[in-house]
Amino acid sequence: MDAAALRSEFPVLERTAYLNAGTCGPLPRAAADAARATLATGEADGRAGGYFTSMIAARDEQRQAYASLLGVDPGEVALTSCTSEGIVRVLAGLDLGRGDEILTSDQEHPGLLGPLSGAIAQRGVTVRMAPFAELAEAVGPQTRLVACSHVSWVDGELAPAALGELDVPVLLDGAQGVGAVATRPADLGCTFYAGSGQKWLCGAVGTGMLWIHPAWTDRVAAPGPTYQNLAEPARGLASDVRADAARHDSPALSPEGAAASLASFGVLAAAGWESVLARAAALAGSLAGRLSERGFEVAPRGETTLVSFRVEDPPAVRTRLAEAGVVVRDLPGRPWIRASVGAWNDESDLERLLDAL
Amino acid sequence: MDAAALRSEFPVLERTAYLNAGTCGPLPRAAADAARATLATGEADGRAGGYFTSMIAARDEQRQAYASLLGVDPGEVALTSCTSEGIVRVLAGLDLGRGDEILTSDQEHPGLLGPLSGAIAQRGVTVRMAPFAELAEAVGPQTRLVACSHVSWVDGELAPAALGELDVPVLLDGAQGVGAVATRPADLGCTFYAGSGQKWLCGAVGTGMLWIHPAWTDRVAAPGPTYQNLAEPARGLASDVRADAARHDSPALSPEGAAASLASFGVLAAAGWESVLARAAALAGSLAGRLSERGFEVAPRGETTLVSFRVEDPPAVRTRLAEAGVVVRDLPGRPWIRASVGAWNDESDLERLLDAL
């Protein structure tokens, strides 16, 4: 599938320069069709029988799809509703308390800071912040966990590679990572990787994943195992939790969402993940260069898919761009407009943004 | 809206005697249409802007709808993904530990038993079981919480009214309650009520609610507050959790699911909740009577919408009935077939079941 063929899978791109996958990816036609088909089955035949068995099958396929992208075993992947849910499960499940420190960075999203505030309030954990680029060196004797972005949501910087060399476990917030850049935990050297389904994987809102290093499966308690998480639900109180990461599956994921997400994954996988990642990185780099040429201050960034640049009054600029059919976002309290560039975009989208500025 | 008009809202009933709302309710056409409309917006316009603001509005309306049915303030209702999620949030959030006892019954679903097993394994809580009908008398000096069904999923028995008179807090698993029978916490005398959106409310899979008595809001910690649960997300670590029950909202609910669930609620509310509940109870009573007349042993039941009756080899009977277009369920390890009877059913559905038996 060439770039134009991939682009044609996304109806929103017919009218809009959609550059906001960092919030929600563009939804492929195939994904909407899959959700519609699941809905139609439930509506006409009832949501038992085929609807139910298809849901179970879709969950398995979704888990396998995510695992294939991460280069891990499907048994190491939990299906969550979002990145934050995965983060909460790790923070709540680890045996951390008073005297233990979690190290985080100054670039984090409320989706990580919220769960960290819970760990402080409820368990007396200490949270210390260090500059994102200096995290590895900032690890101290009380540090029991490093929890930070894989890719900064602010400006697209990458977590320092040195984090992969630490003895301390590392939880990466992969909201802006998975589907956007290379995310094999074996290469990153992390212990936990929490990702989103609805952003760079273009799946449904309410989907996500949590990868847990197999050596840590038994060290992350499931805060409350529900039906999906039990090895033998019919045994009730006597049932163990599932032996694999599925003990952390979200209790009730949407079947329509699973079908859509699987279809979205299929569209991107058919284009080839390597070329999807390379194309997005190249386009984002091209945008950063052209913005600089035009005199915009581009925020420091890695080889990622986010491009943030300084404007006066970002909310007003975002609104003006939206009226011109260009969808980007501003970042509350920061001076940047953030453009998210994916393999589905092309130079015409970048031109529209530059023209509208 | 009369009974026939209500029935005509549910496409599955055109061909099937659908008697399985205890698993998933029949999906009204209006709900599927609402989900399709939300999907279409996301597909064509992208999932920012209008898609996002509609999602926020639908959440507020969904919360108000649930609150209106419970007769409570919307600020007392959290939006969850399912009954079990609400149960987990209460069990994990209460300050319970070694030496504390939770009293439960012998009629409980894995959706409650799973979270209870987590409380045992992780916090050293003791769980004691007593017969469902004798729960109120079984409360002992170590009992810190009673956690049980509002309506038994096995046979439709109602929790004893005497639970409402206890000094100990009571958590009701309302999976078979909300939308099926009267569920005003003020009448039930409970402290927490966890319910499902996809069963008797005919909403999307992945929806539910948790009601928390306002005197207990601050005594149930949010295990990991995410973006939705923070009062001021932009303040990060410094943000408080929301002051109301929304601190327990699920982190990422499907916008399509919210739209569908709101539309389903609208269909039932338009028929009038009082008549929906009365009609379902009357039809279920009629089925129980006719089964008894034909010599079936009907399990003891309350004035609820579930009718369980004894057959040889329930899984085989369920399969045979499904082939005849009659959808019921069996209960693993128990001798019953369970029929779920709603206001959308009519005597013809009951006839089909009786004929097929």
pLDDT digit string, tens, across residues A217-232:
999 998 789 998 999 9
- pLDDT category of residue B223 using cuts at 50, 70 and 90: confident
A119 to chain B: which residues are within 8 Å by CB?
A: 224
Residues 177-206 of B with CB under 8 A from A: 198, 204-206
Could you give the 3-state DSSP secondary structure of residue B226? coil
A251 CB neighbours in chain B (<8 A) are 81-82, 84-85, 88
B220 band by pLDDT with thresholds 50, 70 and 90: very high
Identify the weakest region by mean pLDDT among A110-114, B13-17, B52-56: B52-56
pTM above 0.90, yes or no: yes
Q: What's the mean pLDDT when you consider all of chain B?
A: 96
Within an 8 Å CB–CB cutoff, is residue B323 touching chain A? no
Q: How confident is the model at residue A335 (pLDDT cuts 50, 70, 90)?
A: very high
Nearest chain A Cα distance for residue B22, angstroms: 10
8 Å CB contact of A84 and B226: yes
Please answer yes or no on whether B256 and A49 come within 8 Å at the CB atom: no
Contact B110 A233 (CB under 8 A): yes
Q: Kindly state whether B81 is in contact with chain A, defined as any CB-CB distance less than 8 angstroms.
A: yes
The answer to whether A66 and A208 have CB atoms below 8 angstroms apart is no
The whole-number pLDDT of residue B313 equals 97
Asked if A233 and B114 come within 8 Å (Cβ–Cβ), the reply is yes
B47 and chain A in contact, CB less than 8 A: yes
- Give the position of tokens 């012998």: B106
Q: Torsion angle of alpha carbons A245, A246, A249, A255, nearest 10°?
A: 140
Q: Taking a C-beta distance cutoff of 8 angstroms, is the pair B253, B59 a contact? A: yes
The pLDDT tens digits of the residues spanning B315-357 come to 999 999 999 999 999 998 899 999 999 999 999 999 999 999 9
User: Cα separation of A78 and A182, whole Å?
Assistant: 19
The helix (H) or strand (E) run that includes residue A137 is helix A135-138
Q: Do residues A197 and A81 touch, judged by C-beta distance below 8 A?
A: no
Give contacts of B36 with chain A, Cβ < 8 Å.
36, 39
With beta carbons under 8 A apart, name residues in chain A contacting B27. 39, 42-43, 46-47
Backbone torsions φ then ψ of B124, nearest 5 degrees: 70, 15
Chain B residues with CB-CB distance to A250 below 8 A = 81
Nearest CA-CA distance, residue B27 and chain A, Å: 5
Average pLDDT, chain A: 96
The CA distance from A292 to A55, in Å, is: 48
- C-beta atoms of B84 and A227 within 8 A: yes
All residues of chain B having their beta carbon less than 8 Å from the beta carbon of residue A117 are 225, 230, 236-239
CA-wise closest residue to B35 among B206, B175, B270, B177: B206
Spatial separation of the C-alpha atoms in residues B340 and B317, rounded to whole Å? 16
At A241 the pLDDT is: 93
**Is A42 close to B27, i.e. CB distance below 8 A?**
yes
| B92 to A224: CB separation less than 8 angstroms, yes or no | yes
CA distance A258 to chain B (A): 11
Q: How many angstroms away from the CA of A319 is the closest CA of chain B?
A: 10
Q: If we measure between CA atoms, which residue out of A280, A312, A308 comes closest to residue A26?
A: A280
Name the residue facing A44 among B11, B127, B198 (closest C-beta).
B11
Residue of A15, A36, A118 with shortest CB distance to B36: A36
Q: Residue B26: list chain A partners with CB under 8 A.
A: 46
Cβ-count burial of A348 within 10 angstroms (0-12 exposed, 13-18 middle, 19+ buried)?
exposed
Residue B31: its chain A contacts at CB < 8 A?
A: 43
Q: pLDDT by residue (tens digit) across A228-278?
A: 899 999 898 999 999 999 999 999 999 999 999 999 999 999 999 999 999
Residues of chain A contacting B51 with CB distance shorter than 8 Å: 24
Here the tokens at position A76 are 């190491």
Distance from CA of B84 to the nearest CA of A (A): 6
DSSP A197: S
Q: Read off the pLDDT band of B1 (50, 70, 90).
A: confident
Q: Which residue among A12, A114, A225 sits closest to B43, beta carbon to beta carbon? A: A12
Contact A204 B254 (CB under 8 A): yes
Task: Say whether pLDDT at A49 is over 90.
Answer: no
Yes or no, beta carbons of A32 and B40 under 8 Å apart: yes
Q: Is B281 in the A-facing interface, judged by CB distances under 8 Å?
A: no
Q: Model confidence over A104-113: pLDDT tens digits?
A: 999 999 999 9
